[in-house]
Structure formats: C-alpha cells, structure tokens
Amino acid sequence: MAKESFDKEIQFLRMLVLTSGAYSRQQFADRLGISVHTFDKTIRKLKEINHSMSQQLPNEQSLELAEAIRLDYYDSADPMLLFLFRAKSLKESESQRISMLLAALHNHNALTAMELLDLCCGSLSADSAQPDEKTIRKDLKYLEEVGVIVRESGIRPHRYRIQNDLIQALSEDELIDLFDFVDVMANTQVPSVQGYLLRDSLKKNVAQLHTEKQAIQPFLYKYHYYSRILDEAHLFILLDAIHNHRKIKFLYFSPKSEKSYASKNTNPIFERETKGREELTLPLKVVYDHQYGRWYLLSHDSRQGIRKYRLEGMTQIGEDIQVSEQLFDAVYKKLEEKIQYSWLIDTGHSITVRVRFFNPGLSQPNFIKERVLLQGQWGQIVEEDEQSFIYEIVVNGSNEIKPWLRSFGSSCEILEPPLLRSEMIAEWKELQSYYESI
C-alpha cells in the first residue's frame, strides 16, 4: 500500500473539512507542502471516488467535493469522510475480478476454485486479460483472510462460500434493527470506522427491501465531530505497536505549524519545504478527547520522558524495535499514575480546583447542575445551598479545565486556586472589551 498517499489524503481531507474552502488552490497546496499539480490530481481522484460512491444518491452527484463533505447537520447521516478508507487504488482488472468472484459466490451456493475460474473467464469481456488458476487461488486466499468468504470443510476440491450468514439469518424486521444498532453505535462510540463500513453495506440491503423509503434517515447526531474518523486511520497501527511493545517512528507536524504535510521529495524544488520532525518513541496510550474531537498519542522517550502527540500531525508511521516487557511495564505504570488526574492529557502537577456554580432562577430546571454532573468527570459537589453549589476536583494543572469552566459564563465563580481565579477575571475583562462598543 502506498502509505504516503494516504497520509496526504488524510491531511487533504482534514484541511478541506476544517477550513471549508477558505484557501485558494495555491494557498491550500502551500499549506500542505504539495505542488498545485498534486493538489489538482488529488482533487480529481477524490471527486471520482465521491462520484462512484454516491451513485445511488443522484442529488449529490453534481455537488462539488468541498460542498459534498461539508457538514450539513440535517443531512449528516452519511459521513462523507469515510471515502478516505475507500480510496485505495486498485488495478481495474483486480477490482473486476474480485467483485466477480464475490458476485458468483453470492449467486451460487458454494463453488470450487476451478468452477470460479470458468465463471470468471466466461463473464469477462473478450478484450480483457483472462485470469489464470494461480491468480484465482491467490484472490480466494486473500478473501478468506479478510473473512469475506469461508472454505467449507470436507473433501477436496475445496468449495468456497460467501460468509454472509449475518444477513441470511435475519428477517426483514431484524435487519432494520441491526442497521439501526450499527448506525447508532458507529455514531456514538469510538472506534467507529468498521461500523461505518458495515453501515454502508447494510444500508443498501435495507434499501433493497424498502425501495420507496430508502431516502428516510431517521437519526441525527447533534454536535458530532465527524473529522475524528480520519484519525482512526492511525489508531490500529498504534494499538498494534503498543500491544507488541514496539517503538514507532514517524514524521511529525505540530498542529501549530503552518504546514501539515510534506511530500516525500522527488522534486528538489520542494525539498527545503519539508519541516516535519522525525520522531522515534515508545507508544503507550491513545487518548480521544471529546471536548474537541481530537486524538492524542502518549508515549515514552528515554531522554525526554512522557511525550504527547496529536494524531493529526503524524505521518509516515512505521514500526521500529521492540522493547523489553519490564521497560514497557515500568513506563506504562508511570504514565498511568501521571494521567490519573488529567482533565485531558496534562501530566503536570495536580492542584485542587474549587468552583461555585450558581443555580438558575427558581422557576427553571437546574440545567447548570445537570451539566456539571454530566461533564464534570471525577469532580464532586461538596457543598450545596439554594442558590449555588460548590464543585471540587483534583486535576493536573488548570489549563485544560479552564475552557470548560469559562463556557458556563457568569454561572460560575472560581474560588481556588487564586491564580486561576485571577486569570479568569483577566480573561472576562478582556472579553468585555471585545464587546463594549456595542
């Protein structure tokens, strides 16, 4: 797999989604560290994929790519970003052959490799190259590996059948329940890409049963960070490395830097533009932050201790040497202690934050308390009277909890620590100055 090309596409799609067309071609290309020519080529490819994936939805065909992937809340059930995971290039003949094999197995009960070869040769157009037995056997082996087909036990020659018992076993009504379950879980749980992929196929199945109703998508997910599914591209590589106690190396682009990608340079003109940092580190934990919808990697470095990376900035990830179990366990345990009180990923000193929250007027439901209980993580309400309550939490540093506290506006007053209190006062003063003129 051309890994580099996917790194590029992830960065490309992310930028497209986040900035929704703010940049011109040239600006966009500059920020990604690619040429305008590569920009055009990538856009063309993504459009082509988008087009072939949305054929069942005639209304979407004419949409421009940027528009197609822009979040439209009332029509957000199909995450367009999923097409990143569909984007792998495949030779025309291979995609033709594999789909033909699967279709043949779908139409017949179980077939041998030779029967499949005959069917394949019979149905391929005369001008395309005819597959040989070896190729078919290789394809079958691959399909068996990814679990799409199974080889039936019994005497030779072996017969293969498609593994879709899941669908066969279910009635129409049960299929709808399954679709709904997959839809809800893919949208509310992480990781979710496999769920979205499954949802896609189930959707077509349900649509076949209810042709006239296929346009109806009953569920909406409010305040959902769809862009998170792009970073799942790295998730399983990292989890594997953690599981095997392997270091990883990658090229890192801090989200604060101007650029978020750099092509591997075949073209000397762009060579000096590469500004990514080469990293080699022992991955320990992956963190998903619900406040922003972002992913982090926490890792260990023998010189610098705990390191934190945004998955967003990681490209060209590769596995490196394995470390001993003792070393892994030791640093892992240390990290777990360090992040015990992280509101998100801060591993600094822990402090106690005390906040007074004010209840809304008596006639209103107490949405403030409701929200504190819902989002306040491990913090506790320690005191309560009619007008207010005091919430207390031990947390590493105040930086990460501060935005959350500020979002309550005048419904909260920071009591401790004094520094956070004075910082908050200063921020409200400045915010006031933003709007004083109105």
Partner 1 sequence: MNLFEKIFNYQIISRLDDSGTFMITSQERAWLKTMLEHPAATAAFPESTLHKLKNVLEQDSTLDFKEHFIEKGRSIEKHVYHPLLRSCRRFILNKSSIVITYRLKGGSTTSAQNGVPYKLEYSMVKKEWYLLWYHLRHRSLMNTRLDHIVSVSEQSTSPEVLVQAFTNIQQILDKLKDQVILEVVNTYNQELSRILYAFSCFEKEVIYDATEQIYTICLSFIANEREYVLSKIRFLGKRVRIIEGDYLKKRMLESSRKALERYRITSPPIKDQHVSSPMDGNRLPMKY
Show contacts with partner 1 in window 27-86 (CB under 8 A): 27, 49, 52-53, 55-56, 70-74, 83, 85-86
- Candidates 37, 41, 95, 128: give the one binding partner 1 (CB under 8 A): 95
Helix (H, G, I), strand (E, B) or coil at 207: helix
Nearer to partner 1, 22 or 121 (CB): 22
Q: Which stretch binds partner 1 (CB under 8 A): 32-40, 261-269, 323-331, 366-374?
A: 366-374
Site for partner 1 in 254-283 (CB under 8 A): 255-256
Q: Which stretch binds partner 1 (CB under 8 A): 93-101, 301-309, 322-330, 391-399?
A: 93-101
**Smallest distance, Å, CB 181 to partner 1?**
4
**Smallest distance, Å, CB 356 to partner 1?**
8
Q: Do the beta carbons of residue 281 and residue 213 sit within 8 Å?
A: no
Nearer to partner 1, 237 or 280 (CB): 237
Question: CA–CA separation, 237 vs 315, rounded Å?
Answer: 12
User: Sign of the C-alpha dihedral, residues 86, 91, 94, 99?
Assistant: positive
Q: Do the beta carbons of residue 116 and residue 136 sit within 8 Å?
A: yes
Nearer to partner 1, 29 or 87 (CB): 87
Structure tokens at 308: 């934190």
- Candidates 36, 114, 382, 425: give the one binding partner 1 (CB under 8 A): 425
Interhelix angle 228-243/193-209, rounded to 10 degrees, is 130
Q: What 8-state DSSP symbol labels residue 158?
A: P
Q: How far is CA 402 from CA 130, 343, 415, in A?
A: 65, 10, 13
For residue 391, the tally of other CB atoms under 10 A from its CB is 23
- Candidates 162, 251, 331, 353: give the one binding partner 1 (CB under 8 A): 162
Contacts with partner 1, 277-316, as mask; x by CB under 8 A: -------xxxxxxxxxxx-----------------x----
Question: CA–CA separation, 202 vs 183, rounded Å?
Answer: 10
- Candidates 137, 151, 224, 307: give the one binding partner 1 (CB under 8 A): 224
Nearer to partner 1, 7 or 279 (CB): 7
Q: Which stretch binds partner 1 (CB under 8 A): 128-136, 145-153, 264-272, 391-399?
A: 145-153
Structure tokens at 409: 């506006």
Q: Do the beta carbons of residue 284 and residue 300 sit within 8 Å?
A: yes
Contacts with partner 1, 171-200, as mask; x by CB under 8 A: ---x-xxx-xxx-xx-xxxxx-xxx-xx-x
Site for partner 1 in 6-25 (CB under 8 A): 6, 17-23
**Smallest distance, Å, CB 81 to partner 1?**
11
Nearer to partner 1, 267 or 419 (CB): 419
Nearer to partner 1, 26 or 265 (CB): 26
Nearer to partner 1, 22 or 271 (CB): 22
With 0-12 / 13-18 / 19 or more C-beta atoms within 10 angstroms meaning exposed / middle / buried, residue 293 is middle
With 0-12 / 13-18 / 19 or more C-beta atoms within 10 angstroms meaning exposed / middle / buried, residue 107 is exposed
Total residues in contact with partner 1, by rule CB under 8 A: 150
Contacts with partner 1, 325-364, as mask; x by CB under 8 A: --------------x--xxxx------------x-xx--x
Containing 389, the helix (H) or strand (E) segment is strand 388-396
- Candidates 114, 321, 330, 373: give the one binding partner 1 (CB under 8 A): 373
Q: Do the beta carbons of residue 371 and residue 423 sit within 8 Å?
A: no
**Smallest distance, Å, CB 232 to partner 1?**
7
Q: Do the beta carbons of residue 277 and residue 314 sit within 8 Å?
A: no
Nearer to partner 1, 158 or 371 (CB): 371
Q: Do the beta carbons of residue 137 and residue 113 sit within 8 Å?
A: yes
Question: CA–CA separation, 200 vs 186, rounded Å?
Answer: 11
Q: For 353, left (φ over 0), alpha (ψ -120 to 50), or beta?
A: beta
Q: Under the criterion CB under 8 A, does residue 122 sit at the interface with partner 1?
A: no
How many residues make up the chain in this entry?
438
Nearer to partner 1, 159 or 294 (CB): 294
**Smallest distance, Å, CB 315 to partner 1?**
14
